[in-house]
Chains A and B, each alone.
Chain A
Amino acid sequence: MPLGSGVMKGLKTMLMVTGRKPATVLYPEQLRDISYRFRGQVGMRRDEVTGGMTCVGCGLCETACPNDVIRVDTSENEDGTRFVDRYLFDVGRCVFCYFCIEACPVDALQRTHDFHLITDDRRGLLIDGEKMIEIYEHDQANREAEQKNIGPGAALANWFERG
């Protein structure tokens, strides 16, 4: 190998990437572009009538979950309907398979692009239904800004989802 070829290789690589945009961003001030199909935290839709969780407490998400993430505690409401006492979601165990969203019969559980799961206390990863509503609504508000970043294939995905 001739003397100095290593330096030339290095120079070549440097010249190739000099014109490109940087791959890293200054998180959290800056965020990476997210694919439309990105699987983030599971959110909860707010019920327009009651103002609380849309969840009816059927427990199907709990059953569908492969990783024991969800726990739904229910009791009887005054009018005899099912009341969700507590909806617990252990994000620390979640593998974002979205089986729970598939299972939900009332579309209470929703996909979000939220991936900001960083915490300095694992207890913070155990969130309840109210927190999930907050995550979903925050995510909906951010979607506007994301629209411009949607990747190729978004149109096709849109077509599949909305028909």
Chain B
Amino acid sequence: MSSDTVTLTIDGNEVQVPRGATVLQACESIGVEIPTLCTDPRLKPYGACRMCVVEVQPGPPRPTASCTTPAGDGMTVVTNSQSIRDIRKHVIELQLQHHPLDCPYCDQAGTCELQDEVFDQEIHQSPYETVPKAHPEEILNEVILLNHNRCILCGRCVRICDEQIGVRALDFVERSVGTFIAPAQHDFMDCERCGMCIETCPVGALLSRPFKHSARSWQTEKAASTCPHCSVGCSILVESRHGEVVRTRSNGLEEPDRGILCAKGFFGHSFVNSDDRITQPMVRRGGVLWPVSWRAALDAITAGLRGVLETHGPRAVGVVGSPNTTNEDNYTLQRFARAVLGTNNVYSQDSGLHATARTLRAVLGSEVGPHTQSELLESDLILVVGADIGHTHNVVGAHIKQAARDAGRLLVVATRLASGLDDFATISARVRPGGEAAFLSALADAANDVTEQGTGIDAGAFDEISQMVGAAGSVAVVWDTGVWTLGKADKIAQAAANLALARDGVKLFPLAERANSVGTFRVGMAPDLLPGARPLADAEARREIGDAWGVELSEEPGLPFAEFVEGPMRALYVMGEDVVGGAANPSGVSAALREADLVVAQDIFMNATTEVADVVLPGATFAEKGGHYSNFEGRLGRLEPAIPPVGDARPDWEIVARIAAAIGADFGWRSHEPISEELASLSVAPSISGSGQAVSVNGADLPTVNGDRLVLATEQHLYTAGVAGRHAPSLTLMLPDAVAELNPDDAERLQIAHGDRVHVASAGGEVNLKAMVARRVPSGVVSLPDRFLEAAPRQLDPRSPDGTAVRVSKA
């Protein structure tokens, strides 16, 4: 018998389990069912409910909780004797003394674990006098509600908030029979609103306010899908009823989410059934968009495209894909552009991830592909640089916290704003916006002298970080490539690559901003890329893909987007993206689109691009179509349609394929599966050897901060999720307005109170926002959460808003 397993006897059956497993796990491994209430596979054993009691020999002469007892060699376990059954029945009967029998009103009925146990233990009447508690329901925050009467004090909410999320927003209050659950610090629970306490609650004590009383749990149709809000790609269960998505829940314990979600994943689905959705095709006639039939809209598009192709040629036509749509959608659009229209003017708007991926590929080569999250969490040292991962990629942030605390990983946090990760960090330091690349570059190269003026980090803290990184066996560098890297993503990527070149064991984890940013790169939504992110210049790749499509691909790469729009553009097809609102100069792009012969915007909500589009088509959201997202690891997250598309909306790939068919090139696709197969067969990873050259990135001196001159930081907030987030009522409740976050000291100096209107002005422009005094912002920085109003930070500096000097004054 090897020493890492133990053998025990359960109800007469011998079973071998790894050493350290609990008796409960041993029982489960051979299919012996033991009822539990306080057990959650995500949580450590706790032993609160005493439902899982068993008789253990040798052991204490009393029933023992199997969930907290480690399995030992030679143990004899009896799980189902009469006395054990009596104890379990008593436990439930005692719970029912206080638990109200309001199952017909309770949202949890049907998924309630207490209800299941009452049936399993065949309890029809309580032998005790029942004294239901009658506390009013307590509203903890915008989305979470607590009903004390139903609480069974299993502590799962308290533990999941602590162990998995690392927020510790809930705790037990008072003692003995007076114990209850309450927000740990305040009456108002100002937590991350991830909803995991609701998810784990075995009874109906913690409830989701947006979902409350909208459906019974057994009435909903369930579809296993993927969260559409960021590039972590958590698997979610979309529950719908009568064609309306009513809630999303976490689905399974697999990677990448490992069973937890964030506020966006749990509450951010309500945009799907928003009243603002585009529900039918529209064509602009006399300056006004008129609802028309699909036939009329497709006719208008084919006529327009044919006209432009005849008079101006394929160079005047371009298509824009989107990281909000699936790989299949983007692939269909790309094949339409390259094979049918004959143009290489193929774009997507996620410049941060594209620039990062290109730089890393050029320096390190293509074999250093995306790494998995397990590799990230198994590194000896995790270095988080730049934006606060707790906000941009909350679930990865939660896993990092857990790895730092439970697995003993060193965690170095060098973010610009104070982060939830700080509490778990070995060292945390504040980088000034604009100094991130210089900081990374200096870490790579000891000779590169770091100055406080260049990075914002004082020399002492830098030396400590530098020593730790030098001593660690393996290092994971994690940074968000979201909007804050605008105009400097390649610099940061180069600096990170320097670190990877300087020493062994460094793995880079650029986290993409949106659900399918990585997908748009891999599918090749760029003027000089092909499916599989193979370079267009590669003749072999062109031939292979051209053969598969039955055409000869043009080797002339498309123009960069800005040049294309200002130059030869006569027709533009935009899928799921706001090219005007997201542009460096919105008015210029808007004017160019007005001038163009044909602009088609296919989207789920009206935006600045649909304002100027000639044809507007209703696209489908994640809940209405099949397909795949590629997350930051490159893992494919599957979408499953949960509801039929609202109104006349159609899946995006289908619309593009129909237009292609109308022009005369029917791809023959009737579902998304053949597209996935074709894409997979063409996605041959290119072999590109990196230059291997470290290029020192010297940070220019950061702008000085004094008086009302502050540095601008723009990163995504936890409660913002782009256009979709603005149409999701449950998310807009959490953060109703676009805000400028200020440090309390700065606010006091500038005499700005919480909630005041403020002017934020730069050399380039100014915006007017609501001020929010927040401790997470360090002194000298003003933070504008982006992806709320896409245009706001860009009005201050169109190219690289993050890190510019701004003046803040009370409006």
* Separation of A58 and B209 alpha carbons in the complex (Å): 17
Q: Is A82 an interface residue (CB 8 A)?
A: yes
| B-binding segment of A5-13, A72-80, A152-160 | A72-80
Q: Is B213 an interface residue (CB 8 A)?
A: yes
A56's partner among B104, B145, B209, B218 (CB-CB below 8 A) is: B104
* Separation of A60 and B104 alpha carbons in the complex (Å): 8
Q: List 24 A-B contacts (CB under 8 A).
A: A56-B104, A57-B213, A58-B103, A58-B104, A58-B109, A58-B216, A59-B216, A59-B219, A63-B216, A63-B219, A74-B213, A74-B214, A74-B215, A75-B214, A76-B212, A76-B213, A80-B136, A80-B137, A80-B145, A81-B105, A81-B213, A82-B213, A83-B213, A105-B104
Closest to A77 in B: B213
Contacts of B109 in A (CB 8 A): 58
A75 to chain B, nearest CB (A): 6
Question: Could you tell me if B218 and A63 are in contact, using CB atoms closer than 8 angstroms?
Answer: yes
* Separation of A84 and B219 alpha carbons in the complex (Å): 16
Contacts of B213 in A (CB 8 A): 57, 74-76, 81-83
* Separation of A75 and B215 alpha carbons in the complex (Å): 8
Q: Is A97 an interface residue (CB 8 A)?
A: no
Binary interface encoding of chain A residues 105-139 relative to chain B, with 1 for a CB under 8 A from any of its CBs, else 0: 11000000000000000000000000000000000
Contacts of B242 in A (CB 8 A): 71
B105's partner among A58, A62, A71 (CB-CB below 8 A) is: A58
Chain A interface (Cβ within 8 Å of chain B)? 56-60, 62-63, 71, 74-76, 80-83, 105-106
| Closest A-B pairs by Cβ, 6 of them | A58-B104, A59-B216, A82-B213, A105-B104, A76-B213, A74-B213
Apart from the given pairs A63-B216, A63-B218, 13 other A-B contacts in the complex at a CB distance below 8 Å: A56-B105, A58-B216, A59-B215, A59-B219, A74-B215, A75-B213, A75-B214, A76-B209, A76-B212, A80-B137, A80-B145, A82-B105, A106-B104
* Separation of A80 and B213 alpha carbons in the complex (Å): 9
Binary interface encoding of chain B residues 79-102 relative to chain A, with 1 for a CB under 8 A from any of its CBs, else 0: 000000000000000000000000
* Separation of A60 and B105 alpha carbons in the complex (Å): 11
B149 to chain A, nearest CB (A): 12
Binary interface encoding of chain B residues 126-149 relative to chain A, with 1 for a CB under 8 A from any of its CBs, else 0: 000000000011000000010000
* Separation of A59 and B103 alpha carbons in the complex (Å): 11
Closest to B104 in A: A58
Contacts of B215 in A (CB 8 A): 59, 74
* Separation of A75 and B137 alpha carbons in the complex (Å): 16
Interface size on B, residues (CB 8 A): 16
Contacts of A76 in B (CB 8 A): 209, 212-213
Contacts of B103 in A (CB 8 A): 58
Closest to A74 in B: B213
* Separation of A75 and B214 alpha carbons in the complex (Å): 5
* Separation of A111 and B218 alpha carbons in the complex (Å): 26
* Separation of A59 and B209 alpha carbons in the complex (Å): 19
* Separation of A83 and B105 alpha carbons in the complex (Å): 10
A107 to chain B, nearest CB (A): 12
Contacts of A63 in B (CB 8 A): 216, 218-219
* Separation of A82 and B145 alpha carbons in the complex (Å): 14
Binary interface encoding of chain B residues 170-206 relative to chain A, with 1 for a CB under 8 A from any of its CBs, else 0: 0000000000000000000000000000000000000
Contacts of B145 in A (CB 8 A): 80
A109 to chain B, nearest CB (A): 13
B376 to chain A, nearest CB (A): 41
Closest to B109 in A: A58
A47 to chain B, nearest CB (A): 15
* Separation of A106 and B101 alpha carbons in the complex (Å): 13
Contacts of A62 in B (CB 8 A): 219
B141 to chain A, nearest CB (A): 15
A16 to chain B, nearest CB (A): 57
* Separation of A75 and B246 alpha carbons in the complex (Å): 12
A53 to chain B, nearest CB (A): 14
Contacts of B209 in A (CB 8 A): 76
Closest to A62 in B: B219
* Separation of A142 and B105 alpha carbons in the complex (Å): 34
* Separation of A118 and B229 alpha carbons in the complex (Å): 53
Closest to A80 in B: B137
Closest to B209 in A: A76
* Separation of A77 and B212 alpha carbons in the complex (Å): 10
Contacts of A56 in B (CB 8 A): 104-105
Q: Which interface residue of A59, A62, A81 has the most chain B CB atoms within 10 A? A: A59
* Separation of A83 and B209 alpha carbons in the complex (Å): 14
Q: Which interface residue of A63, A74, A80 has the most chain B CB atoms within 10 A? A: A80
* Separation of A80 and B148 alpha carbons in the complex (Å): 14
Closest to B107 in A: A82
B493 to chain A, nearest CB (A): 48
Closest to A83 in B: B213
Closest to A57 in B: B213
* Separation of A43 and B136 alpha carbons in the complex (Å): 33
A84 to chain B, nearest CB (A): 10
Contacts of A83 in B (CB 8 A): 213
* Separation of A58 and B212 alpha carbons in the complex (Å): 12
* Separation of A82 and B102 alpha carbons in the complex (Å): 11
* Separation of A56 and B213 alpha carbons in the complex (Å): 10
Contacts of A82 in B (CB 8 A): 105, 213
A68 to chain B, nearest CB (A): 12
A108 to chain B, nearest CB (A): 11
A61 to chain B, nearest CB (A): 11
Contacts of A80 in B (CB 8 A): 136-137, 145, 212
Binary interface encoding of chain B residues 577-601 relative to chain A, with 1 for a CB under 8 A from any of its CBs, else 0: 0000000000000000000000000
Contacts of A58 in B (CB 8 A): 103-105, 109, 216
Contacts of A60 in B (CB 8 A): 104
Closest to B219 in A: A59
Which residues 212-229 of B sit at the A interface, judged by CB distance below 8 A?
A: 212-216, 218-219
Contacts of B219 in A (CB 8 A): 59, 62-63
* Separation of A71 and B241 alpha carbons in the complex (Å): 11
A58 to chain B, nearest CB (A): 4
B540 to chain A, nearest CB (A): 58
Contacts of B216 in A (CB 8 A): 58-59, 63
* Separation of A105 and B216 alpha carbons in the complex (Å): 15
* Separation of A76 and B107 alpha carbons in the complex (Å): 11
Q: Which interface residue of B104, B145, B212, B219 has the most chain A CB atoms within 10 A? A: B104
* Separation of A76 and B137 alpha carbons in the complex (Å): 13
B776 to chain A, nearest CB (A): 33
Contacts of B104 in A (CB 8 A): 56, 58, 60, 105-106
* Separation of A81 and B212 alpha carbons in the complex (Å): 9
Contacts of B214 in A (CB 8 A): 74-75
Closest to A75 in B: B213
Contacts of B218 in A (CB 8 A): 63
* Separation of A81 and B102 alpha carbons in the complex (Å): 11
Which residues 99-122 of B sit at the A interface, judged by CB distance below 8 A?
A: 103-105, 109
Contacts of A57 in B (CB 8 A): 213
Closest to B211 in A: A76
* Separation of A59 and B105 alpha carbons in the complex (Å): 10
Contacts of A81 in B (CB 8 A): 105, 213
B142 to chain A, nearest CB (A): 14
B144 to chain A, nearest CB (A): 13
Closest to B218 in A: A63
Closest to A104 in B: B104
B215 to chain A, nearest CB (A): 8
* Separation of A81 and B147 alpha carbons in the complex (Å): 12
B569 to chain A, nearest CB (A): 48
B148 to chain A, nearest CB (A): 13
Closest to B105 in A: A82
A105 to chain B, nearest CB (A): 5
Closest to B210 in A: A76
Contacts of A59 in B (CB 8 A): 215-216, 219
B245 to chain A, nearest CB (A): 15
A39 to chain B, nearest CB (A): 25
B559 to chain A, nearest CB (A): 52
Contacts of B137 in A (CB 8 A): 80
